[in-house]
Amino acid sequence: MTEPPGTPQIDVGVLVAGGSSRRAGIDKRFLVIEGRTLLLRNLAFLRELFPRVAIVLGHDQDIDLGDARADVILHDAWPTGSPLAGIATALRHFHEPVFALAVDIARPDRESALRVLAAFPGHDAALPAIGGQFHQPLFAAYGPACLVPMAAVLDAGRHRIVHILPAVRTVEVPFPDEARFRNINTMDDFREAQREARAQGAPAAAAQPALVAVVGKSDAGKTTLIEKLVPELVRLGLRVGTVKHDAHSFEIDHPGKDSWRHGRAGASAYAIASPERLAFITRLDEELELTAIARRFFAGFDLVVAEGYKRSAPHRVELFRAGAGHTEPLCAPGEALALVTDAELEHEHRFGLEDGAGLARFLAVRLDALREY
């Protein structure tokens, strides 16, 4: 990267990711903008700027990063769940300056980060300011001298970062507005961030959607699981499509209808269109592979969830329900990404039958891997 003159070599970027998301009502770390979760987007942002990246969580939290990695995962040394505790924990661990970034900043800006870093030399803290007032303490640089006043404030039961600023050498970094530091605190904030991304020409998703199949033996409840899973994926901001595999012939057009008559007349493909729905029907010489269906019909979607395709799907989640009378899973060890079950079976990623939200988060942080097929 090319830094402005005087930009210090701060080596550590810290993703502050220990919030409870009470106002959003959902774990906002897994909300998806432009095809990636906030967690992975902001982790990648720090990776581009700093040779070492840490994540700070609440003292009793855990996190699923999918295939991504952090150099260090820390837990708050002060069990307050506050951003101040996260920054203090990082300073205590590294004993050197750090750049702190909130996990819920919607669209962090590289140029703005470099401006903050360039202002840091000779100071203990550098924070963005708008109209002469400090605005975003979680897009800021902090030096080791901040640790003592931070610890004192936390030990006194206070949690706001601004409480430590009078005790350290702080520099304001002026910015014209708050747009580049906007947090996602509510679902309205999230929807606005999505609209802004679309307005700026950002793609809603990669051209090739992520793809996963829910597989399992007969009567395991695959459709019921998908009914639980899809709403949770949509809540995270994903545009989701589904594919149901049918091993037999099927008919969705009704004999005698005008569209059916079009097909009977010899049309190789025909569509039924209304203001609310569109159905496209085409004749096939041979069955299309699931991957071809995903590429051809779901371009622009974030994720396609298939039901079935137990032998051909490139990525599978198995549903095994002992209550259906089954005695062993369908997939061999290592074949399924995750196992949804009511049985005491060993699997690195196991979910209960009702945990659609947990499975949705699991898939959301693996969208990049699920796009590989």
User: With 80 as the cut, is the pLDDT of residue 306 above it?
Assistant: yes
Q: Which amino acid is at 318?
A: E
pLDDT-based confidence at 1, cuts 50/70/90?
A: very low
Reported CATH class of domain 12-199: alpha beta
Assigned token pair, 272? 């039924």
pLDDT-based confidence at 371, cuts 50/70/90?
A: very high
User: With 60 as the cut, is the pLDDT of residue 4 above it?
Assistant: no
Across 70-82, average pLDDT? 91
Whole-number percent of the chain with pLDDT over 70:
92
Q: Which amino acid is at 339?
A: L
Assigned token pair, 55? 């994540």
What per-residue confidence (pLDDT) applies to 198?
82
User: With 60 as the cut, is the pLDDT of residue 116 above it?
Assistant: yes
pLDDT tens sequence across 275-287: 988 888 888 888 8
What per-residue confidence (pLDDT) applies to 262?
79
Whole-number percent of the chain with pLDDT over 90:
68
Listed residue (209, 250, 242, 239) closest to 226, CA to CA? 242
User: With 90 as the cut, is the pLDDT of residue 123 above it?
Assistant: yes
What per-residue confidence (pLDDT) applies to 7?
52
CA–CA distance, 43 with 65 (Å, rounded to integer):
10
CA–CA distance, 225 with 352 (Å, rounded to integer):
10
User: With 80 as the cut, is the pLDDT of residue 203 above it?
Assistant: no
313: Cα separation from own chain's centroid = 23
Across 171-200, average pLDDT? 90
Highest mean pLDDT among 18-27, 43-52, 241-250 belongs to: 43-52
What per-residue confidence (pLDDT) applies to 354?
94
What is the average pLDDT value for the chain, to the nearest integer? Answer: 90
204 versus 168: the higher-pLDDT residue is 168
Across 64-82, average pLDDT? 91
Listed residue (355, 132, 275) closest to 363, CA to CA? 355
**Is the separation of the CB atoms in 208 and 291 below 8 Å?**
no
Listed residue (164, 118, 175) closest to 141, CA to CA? 118
What per-residue confidence (pLDDT) applies to 79?
86
Which contiguous run of DSSP H or E holds residue 133? strand 133-134
Give the three-class secondary structure for 268: coil
User: With 80 as the cut, is the pLDDT of residue 202 above it?
Assistant: no
Residue extents of the structural domains in the chain? 12-199, 210-370
DSSP secondary structure letters along 195-218: HHHHHTT--SS-SSPEEEEEE-ST
User: With 60 as the cut, is the pLDDT of residue 255 above it?
Assistant: yes
What per-residue confidence (pLDDT) applies to 316?
97
What per-residue confidence (pLDDT) applies to 6?
46
pLDDT-based confidence at 363, cuts 50/70/90?
A: very high
143 versus 245: the higher-pLDDT residue is 143
What per-residue confidence (pLDDT) applies to 247?
66
Query: With left for phi above 0 and alpha for psi between -120 and 50, is residue 237 left, alpha or beta?
Result: left
Give the three-class secondary structure for 150: helix
DSSP for residue 368: H
pLDDT-based confidence at 267, cuts 50/70/90?
A: confident
User: With 70 as the cut, is the pLDDT of residue 171 above it?
Assistant: yes
**Is the separation of the CB atoms in 285 and 189 below 8 Å?**
no
Reported CATH class of domain 210-370: alpha beta
Listed residue (142, 40, 38) closest to 84, CA to CA? 142
Backbone angles phi, psi at 139, to 5 degrees: -145, 60
